[in-house]
Amino acid sequence: EGAMEKLRSVMGGCYYLSSSILISTLNKSLMSSYGFHFPTLILTFQNLMTISIFSILIPCGLVRKPSNPPWRHLAGLTFSYFMNMTASMSAMNLTSLLMFSTLRRTSSLWVLVFECWLLGKAFNMQVLLSVVVVVTGALVAGSKDFLFDLRGYMLAILANISTSMYVVLIKKSHQDSTIDSLQLLALTSLLSIVPLALLSYLCGEVSRRRVRRTAFDNATRG
């Protein structure tokens, strides 16, 4: 039983890693290779897809419909989720995919900070040293970036902070309710759709003329 539990953990980690790499590569390709520089619009449709898939899986019995959600945590969860998405996509648009992935590795430092602050956890020296090594490696890699963009770096740091806050708030909500991480993802995605759509409109991303011009330019270039 212990071996099966370890195997499930490893498989879950591999699935998360492959999914993260795939979605990052897809988003970067849309913005760089295809010139579709509408990050907030992309996020809006991705969240709509998340809600649609979740709604389809409920009747199939593969997921449970959220019940008694931790409303007092949802505001912070939704805010950190929203900030993570928008900051990550904007940073990805301004930096290379390799450097973006490198900068995202420093999020472990912020997880430690928020877990100490919000959960009162203490960490041993091995954990602290491993985080220091990862962060130092990211800083060394960043110092060799010839395409340095200060805005992109600052947005990546903001994405790390909001990601860490989201992770810690999920752990805290698990202490106060029986709702799982997948249900929290569905709720935060649902609550983020309207702000994302509004931000897309305010940024001019939903302008029919802009989208058509981008599609025409891409078709001509292809």
Tens-level pLDDT at each residue, the chain (222 residues):
567 777 777 776 677 778 777 888 888 888 877 777 788 888 898 899 989 988 898 888 888 887 777 777 788 889 999 999 999 888 888 888 778 877 887 888 888 888 888 777 777 888 888 888 888 877 776 666 656 678 888 898 899 899 888 888 888 887 777 778 788 888 899 999 999 988 888 887 766 555 555 554 554 555
| Amino acid found at 169 | L
Chain center to CA of 132? 22
Cα distance between residue 189 and residue 187, in whole Å: 5
Cα angle 208, 82, 199 (rounded to 5 degrees) comes to 25
Tell me the CA distances in angstroms from 136 to 33, 34, 139, 143, 219, one per residue in order: 31, 34, 5, 11, 43
pLDDT value of position 216: 46
